[in-house]
Structure 1
């Protein structure tokens, strides 16, 4: 076998490994694959492909420094290289870096694609002026209506900036709307308190006989937040069961939150107890509701139950439990929770730290 055949064979094996690693990314596996990519060198037939895959793996792991370092040292780049790094920065909220890479991309002569535009528009910290520029660019290049993801991202962008009218216009102007587009707009109406409009779109989805996803239910439930909406919430709950999503943890958490807001703590606890799978959001929703209802001992009980269910608490959990200990004036319990906070390296979190200061202040023991 010739050296060139060996070269191609090794690249194919590396490509298989990269694809396998992309399904369940881990830094432990990515670094050796990165090293192999450098050792083998670029494939003459696919000079950038392997490098793009490694950049994508680093990006999916949130290892932006490693992704950018590899990007900067690549022997060549294409539009996929730029899209990968732009999307990574956008996803992690680095709007300035994402925008800078976008400008570099254009300076290098690459035309933006729907992935470029939708990736940038999805960045939470992208400012309104940059978003308007992107919209104009998308219109000029025929990208706005060529891909549902661009219109969906534009609608979400305007919603995040409080521009609901522009968000609705972006949705209505789209000639083709996907289930993702509908789910996004349903959620936008719900988050802005327009429950009726959210329900209109949700009913339209049902009428179209489009297979609903968990995000359809999560979106519509986000707007069901008051006692007068309880009947609507119960109807949606019925559809959840009918469509087989009553075991989906995202949907279950939305239902628990809906019952907390619309009918109080008891129906929410009943829902919580009946579901087979719970995560930290499920526990936090109920713990927060119990704290608000001043059922402080139940808060501590539920916190202790989390470890039995192998659910790890987060900063929201600890803040709620410390506030309960303050209300109970239980110094020993509070100190025990404080020890767990230190163990979980959350003592410097702003919300947790504030709860701890308030707790110890009640005992005039700030030096602890």
Structure 2
């Protein structure tokens, strides 16, 4: 008995020492305890087993925990539900779900904690079917789920029938009076947000009796993941003023929204807050900062964070590669990709970013070489998205026939996105016959997409086929297809100013129009020649020039010159692809007015300095 008491005290001490450890105990202390345990034999009691299991659990000491389990079995220790449950929890924490499930099935009696441990283990590993199956089995018994069970099973309410299953769990939580519990409420709003039901998620959030960092982060993340970036930002500001506690996940979710808004000023503030708060710079937060800065057009900051990282994951490299690709810096993409291969294995997302960078940078041969490299990689296999990148690569380079041949040889059926990129290439290179063929495919696949009609109309207009232009426009009218209006935004101070093509709604429209005409005169003296091919109407040249001056990005640039600092960067965001004439317009403005311009359109960034664009005039 004295040996047992000594061992029990030692194990209790080990459990306390190791409560925050993620590895084996130092100096072999756990090993010594296990040796002593084997010498005690049958004299070991419940508290000793509980203590040594606690030490193994805290240290994720899988082999040592197996030895404790084996000792219990050999000594035929009468296993209560509690110790069996502790063993199940131990195996779950060690990611040994098969061992946990085997023990669980052999248990003569199970508590709600046992069921919850297994459900939670499967949910955390993404094994949603297994988790739901166990939950249904549990409901057949006399046991009722507690708040932890409900919170765990809601994590598995995902996929095709996720919302349906989640609503059933929601009804059960109401019946059991757990709906407003912080754990259950947070899981419910997260489930609804991921299912796209953000209004239901917000209602649950508002009804919570108390809110913690998890629930606040879940609702902000929900808005951000659905692209409701302004709503995510406004909610964060509201909650932050109320004293919300933030962690690195909160800021990561917020940075996702700021990336969508290209709100670099807010992004810098978040960056500063994380530094002042002395938050641990987890890789996921650094990755989000890299992504935010690159999507806001500041690759220098992105690279600075990337270079200072103590540890980089594949996602870190991919975020930096995607940033360079979005800016059309194909050579930088290749250089970084080669550096990555020296230290880390590329994944599917890596190849997607690299192929996209080659496509946007006009590096056709490099892109084809890298795709060939990927096809020979035994661990990474090309997916439909990679084939789409190669089609885009060939199409942008004007190699339309090669793109068609590549599509014929693909092991996949071409998607709408692949046909769409090829149609865009036909527009740029004015390939009427190929454009008609691709457009017919797209009009059959998605007859309500206005973009396909518009691009086909543009192809005909570029070729001077005005009767065909009228036919396409008549077809759009007949099918009530409405073209998406061009919109450009510029932020001055804390106010976003929005301009539409030929805008008549802005309160300073007369001053802006006058400024555009002034700029037009000045840059024409410097050699600017309007590209009239960008006007797709059968009118005379003088009218085409007037129509060009009404493009939304020109209005936004003029407004920026009127009211921004004389030396600051002018940043414009457009919802559609920038036209060739507006691109040339911006280049001449950068020379004549000595300003740097950042134009972000639907496809990429254009950073224009002294008449030169980062895209190399290839986009």
TM over 0.5: yes
**Equivalent position SS for 1:49:** helix
Distance 1:109 1:41, change over 3 A: farther
Equivalent residue in structure 2 for 1:237, among 265, 271, 275: 271
How far residue 11 of structure 1 moved from its aligned partner, in angstroms, is 5.1
Contact 1:306 1:313 in 2 (8 A): yes
Equivalent residue in structure 1 for 2:249, among 215, 220, 223: 215
Matched, 1:38 2:62: no
Give the TM-score of the pair, scaled to structure 1: 0.81
Looking at structure 2, the residues matched to 328 and 11 of structure 1 have their Cα atoms a distance apart, in angstroms, of 69
**Equivalent position SS for 1:238:** helix
Contact 1:319 1:355 in 2 (8 A): no
Give the TM-score of the pair, scaled to structure 2: 0.51
How far residue 78 of structure 1 moved from its aligned partner, in angstroms, is 0.8
Contact 1:89 1:97 in 2 (8 A): yes
**Structure 2 unaligned blocks of 5 or more:** 5-39, 394-401, 410-619
Task: Name the counterpart of 1:176.
Answer: 210
How far residue 251 of structure 1 moved from its aligned partner, in angstroms, is 1.7
How far residue 70 of structure 1 moved from its aligned partner, in angstroms, is 1.7
Task: Name the counterpart of 1:15.
Answer: 50
**Equivalent position SS for 2:340:** helix
How far residue 91 of structure 1 moved from its aligned partner, in angstroms, is 2.5
Distance 1:84 1:247, change over 3 A: closer
Distance 1:323 1:66, change over 3 A: farther
Equivalent residue in structure 1 for 2:167, among 127, 132, 137: 132
Contact 1:322 1:355 in 2 (8 A): no
Name the structure with the higher helix share.
Answer: 1
How far residue 154 of structure 1 moved from its aligned partner, in angstroms, is 0.4
List per-residue Cα deviations over 1:136-174 (Å, max 9, x = no partner).
Answer: 2111111122x3010000001111111111111111111
Contact 1:11 1:43 in 2 (8 A): no
Task: Name the counterpart of 2:136.
Answer: 103
Task: Name the counterpart of 2:110.
Answer: 77
**Equivalent position SS for 1:109:** coil
Matched, 1:257 2:291: yes
Give 1 or 2 for the bigger CA radius of gyration: 2
Equivalent residue in structure 2 for 1:197, among 231, 234, 240: 231
How far residue 88 of structure 1 moved from its aligned partner, in angstroms, is 2.0
Contact 2:185 2:204 in 1 (8 A): yes
List per-residue Cα deviations over 1:282-329 (Å, max 9, x = no partner).
Answer: 111011222344433423332343366x55543322444467689452
Equivalent residue in structure 2 for 1:225, among 243, 251, 259: 259
Q: How does 1:272-351 map to 2 (within 5 A)?
A: 272-306=306-340, 310-321=343-354, 327=363, 329-330=365-366, 341-342=377-378, 345-347=379-381, 350=383
How far residue 130 of structure 1 moved from its aligned partner, in angstroms, is 2.1
Aligned residues: 357
**Equivalent position SS for 2:302:** helix
How far residue 240 of structure 1 moved from its aligned partner, in angstroms, is 1.9
With 180-189 and 298-307 compared, the bigger mean Cα shift is at 298-307
Task: Name the counterpart of 1:149.
Answer: 183
Looking at structure 1, the residues matched to 389 and 232 of structure 2 have their Cα atoms a distance apart, in angstroms, of 40
